[in-house]
């Protein structure tokens, strides 16, 4: 690692040169850093904007599993079998699935060696709960805070290895060499030096970039992620990286803005669902009303919802657990607030104990986790809503988790590493398997590409850095000015963008609303320097976040339109209204009438590219790759 300075953008700017930089501060980023270090690559560093933005650091739930190859006596598992199960939902490439299966035990045992408290039997085998089929026996849990524990152990491992960490640095541009379409570095906004023009940006000249920035935080308002989480998909798309399967996501009922999935015993305790108006008045047990003729069916579905937490269009029929999600979502769209109340039994439920007492019997560990987070369910109800837990689509990656841009490795939730459905725990384990695979690919790379010399690097960075400086000055020049009718405060803008995406495409994907939102996104991207107004100099960071977010929104929305034009119907985490389809309940309005997906898109993978100059997207549909092993 060495440092230098170049004159560009009207200022002397610091350049740090190193072999590999890992962008992100969550479990995938930490795993990549530890893997590279342990494989002998020491010229590395982590680039983190804010540790408070890490989803894995704060994610919790009533049931949290880690998915890995079953390796104890009598299981008879194999990477090929696991890969076939991972890719069985028809839109996950077999080579990507096989890589994750192969790296499954390597990644798992690294976590175990770091001290993650996975359960072990008297013979030293790491075992899953008794019962279940072969697929479920791959699941293992260190408790309701498994993701948080993994993050803490990996973070400690990074510190123990003295791996360099650049904090308060927000990546705003990826740099590529147009001669051979490879990543050669990045431009970061120094969040602690935004007031000083010559220190506002920092340059990194590197041979490899591991992009571990998580899902595209902020695309939707309803996300089970810290509000500070932003992601970096837009920067990658701008640089020419392709995306894949952007239509797919995983969502379910969560505690609003608490990064808490209401699954497992939190549902099995059968709490009362109640809604109130905007003033907190006029309570209604709307779920009981929908099942008033057979309330026992409601309670059975609630218990089943514990294990079937993710919303699934297949399970939203009249006897399916995901019908609960639709009824909750409809109530919220009416302008009401929905709560899960553990202090009172639901109407019609004959029980001597109360929901919070049943919860404690089911899992004292969950109860203690909630208390530690300041949630006492014996004293208060929890506001809930359908929220996104993870994105199953993301940046395109090959079997080594390398992008179509050479030397750019998207890992964790940044990459498209799952299909429509993923086995419970696969999303968490993918943060580790993808990082492990990328690290091994970097170590094994024999292409001979070297760091750019400073003269060549300066020639590539001059134009984008000058543009960023000019945008910064223009944006900050509006500081302190009043907002007119054609402008909007930058902080209001981000929240409003997410809410508009919720309305267009969160659970119900309305083609008309999606098309209208595409035009809004294009307008805002083109006019952003003119219409965005800061309230403080620190808002410059949000300006660049929104710039990337708008490109990401465009890719997601365009992918949804392409999916519909291809003949795709409702599947996984969303429904597309269909007047000739089924209506799961007479208590749902007609917009919830839908049909399930069919052979038009089965087995086909959608790839998406963004053209920043024309603000247009192109899509390729191809057959998924089989598992070859």
Q: Residue 546: is its pLDDT beyond 90? A: yes
More confident residue, 9 or 205: 205
Average pLDDT, integer, range 534-553: 94
Please state whether beta strands 382-391 and 394-395 pair in parallel, antiparallel, or not at all (unpaired): unpaired
Domain ranges of the chain: 251-389, 466-622
Kindly indicate the confidence band of residue 354, based on its pLDDT and cuts at 50, 70 and 90: very high
Average pLDDT, integer, range 233-259: 95
Average pLDDT, integer, range 327-344: 97
Taking a C-beta distance cutoff of 8 angstroms, is the pair 87, 416 a contact?
Answer: no
More confident residue, 98 or 228: 98
- What lies within 8 Å, CB to CB, of 613 at 6+ separation is none
Q: At CA 567, angle to CA 561 and CA 568, rounded to 5? A: 70
CA quadruple 468, 473, 474, 478: dihedral sign: positive
Average pLDDT, integer, range 130-144: 73
Kindly indicate the confidence band of residue 257, based on its pLDDT and cuts at 50, 70 and 90: confident
pLDDT of residue 135: 55
pLDDT of residue 129: 67
More confident residue, 132 or 80: 80
Taking a C-beta distance cutoff of 8 angstroms, is the pair 263, 308 a contact?
Answer: no
pLDDT of residue 575: 96
Average pLDDT, integer, range 495-503: 93
Please state whether beta strands 577-582 and 594-594 pair in parallel, antiparallel, or not at all (unpaired): antiparallel
Q: Is 466 helix (H, G, I), strand (E, B) or coil?
A: helix
**What is the number of alpha carbons within 13 Å of residue 318 lying toward its C-beta?**
8
Please identify which residue in the block is written with the tokens 């519909």. 564
Q: pLDDT exceeding 70 applies to what percent of the chain?
A: 98
Taking a C-beta distance cutoff of 8 angstroms, is the pair 173, 203 a contact?
Answer: no
pLDDT of residue 133: 47
Please identify which residue in the block is written with the tokens 């640089």. 239
Q: What is the dihedral of CA 512, 514, 515, 520, to 10 degrees?
A: 130
pLDDT of residue 14: 92
Q: What 8-state DSSP symbol labels residue 136?
A: G
pLDDT of residue 195: 83
Average pLDDT of every residue of the chain: 93
Tokens, residue 230: 């932003």
DSSP 263-297: -THHHHT-PEEEEE-TTS-S-B-HHHHHTTT-HHH
Measured CA to CA, the distance from residue 608 to residue 395 in angstroms comes to: 9
Q: Residue 59: is its pLDDT beyond 90? A: no
pLDDT of residue 629: 60
Average pLDDT, integer, range 327-336: 97
Q: Residue 228: is its pLDDT beyond 80? A: no
Give the residue from 561, 563, 551 showing the smallest Cα distance to 216.
551
pLDDT of residue 419: 87
Kindly indicate the confidence band of residue 600, based on its pLDDT and cuts at 50, 70 and 90: confident
Question: 466-622 sits in which CATH class?
Answer: mainly alpha
């Amino acid at each position: 690692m060495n440092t230098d300075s170049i004159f560009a953008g009207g200022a002397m700017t610091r350049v740090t040169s190193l072999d590999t930089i890992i962008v992100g501060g969550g479990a995938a980023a930490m795993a990549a850093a530890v893997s590279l270090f342990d494989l002998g690559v020491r010229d590395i560093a982590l680039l983190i904007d804010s540790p408070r933005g890490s989803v894995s650091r704060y994610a919790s739930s009533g049931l949290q599993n880690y998915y890995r190859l079953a390796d104890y006596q009598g299981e008879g598992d194999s990477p090929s079998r696991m890969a076939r199960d991972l890719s069985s939902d028809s839109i996950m490439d077999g080579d990507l699935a096989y890589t994750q299966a192969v790296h499954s035990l390597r990644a798992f045992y690294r976590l175990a060696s770091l001290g993650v408290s996975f359960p072990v039997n008297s013979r030293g085998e790491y075992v899953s709960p008794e019962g279940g089929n072969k697929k479920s026996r791959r699941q293992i849990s260190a408790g309701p805070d498994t993701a948080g524990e993994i993050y803490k152990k990996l973070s400690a491992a990074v510190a123990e290895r003295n791996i360099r960490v650049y904090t308060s640095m927000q990546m705003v541009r990826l740099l590529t060499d147009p001669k051979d379409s490879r990543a050669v570095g990045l431009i970061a906004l120094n969040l602690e030096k935004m007031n000083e023009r010559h220190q506002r940006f920092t340059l990194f000249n590197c041979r490899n970039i591991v992009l571990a920035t998580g899902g595209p935080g902020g695309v939707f308002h309803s996300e089970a992620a810290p509000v500070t989480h932003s992601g970096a998909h837009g920067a990658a798309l701008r640089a020419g990286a392709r995306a894949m399967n952007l239509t797919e996501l995983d969502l379910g009922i969560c505690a609003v803005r608490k990064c808490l999935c209401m699954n497992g015993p939190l549902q099995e305790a059968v709490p009362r669902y109640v809604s109130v108006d905007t003033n907190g008045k006029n309570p209604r047990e709307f779920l009981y009303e929908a099942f008033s003729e057979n309330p026992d069916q409601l309670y059975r579905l609630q218990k089943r919802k514990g294990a079937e937490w993710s919303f699934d269009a297949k399970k939203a029929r009249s006897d399916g657990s995901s019908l609960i999600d639709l009824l909750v979502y409809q109530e919220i769209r009416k302008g009401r607030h929905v709560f899960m109340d553990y202090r009172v039994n639901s109407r019609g439920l004959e029980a001597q104990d109360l929901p919070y007492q049943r919860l404690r019997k089911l899992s004292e560990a969950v109860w203690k986790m909630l208390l530690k987070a300041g949630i006492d369910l014996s004293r208060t109800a929890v506001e809930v809503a359908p929220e996104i837990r993870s994105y199953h689509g993301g940046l395109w990656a090959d079997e080594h988790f390398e992008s179509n841009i050479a030397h750019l490795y998207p890992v964790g939730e940044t990459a498209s590493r799952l299909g429509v459905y993923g086995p419970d725990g696969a999303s968490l384990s993918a943060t580790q398997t993808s990082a492990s695979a990328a690290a091994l690919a970097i170590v094994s790379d024999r292409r001979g590409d070297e760091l750019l010399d400073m003269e060549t690097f300066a020639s590539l960075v001059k134009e984008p850095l000058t543009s960023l400086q000019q945008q910064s000055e223009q944006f900050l020049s509006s500081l302190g000015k009043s907002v007119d009718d054609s402008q909007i405060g930058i902080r209001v803008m981000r929240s409003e963008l997410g809410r508009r995406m919720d309305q267009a495409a969160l659970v119900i994907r309305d083609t008309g609303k999606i098309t209208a939102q595409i035009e809004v996104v294009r307008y805002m991207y083109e006019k952003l320097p003119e219409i965005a107004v800061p309230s403080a100099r620190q808002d410059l960071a949000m300006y660049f976040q929104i710039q990337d977010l708008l490109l990401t929104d465009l890719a997601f929305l365009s992918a949804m339109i392409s999916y519909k034009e291809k003949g795709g119907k409702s599947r996984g985490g969303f429904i597309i209204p269909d007047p000739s389809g089924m209506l799961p309940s007479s208590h749902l309005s007609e917009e919830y009438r839908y049909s399930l997906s069919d052979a038009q898109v089965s087995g086909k993978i959608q790839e998406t590219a963004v053209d920043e100059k024309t603000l247009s997207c192109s899509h390729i549909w191809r057959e998924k790759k089989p598992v070859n092993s």
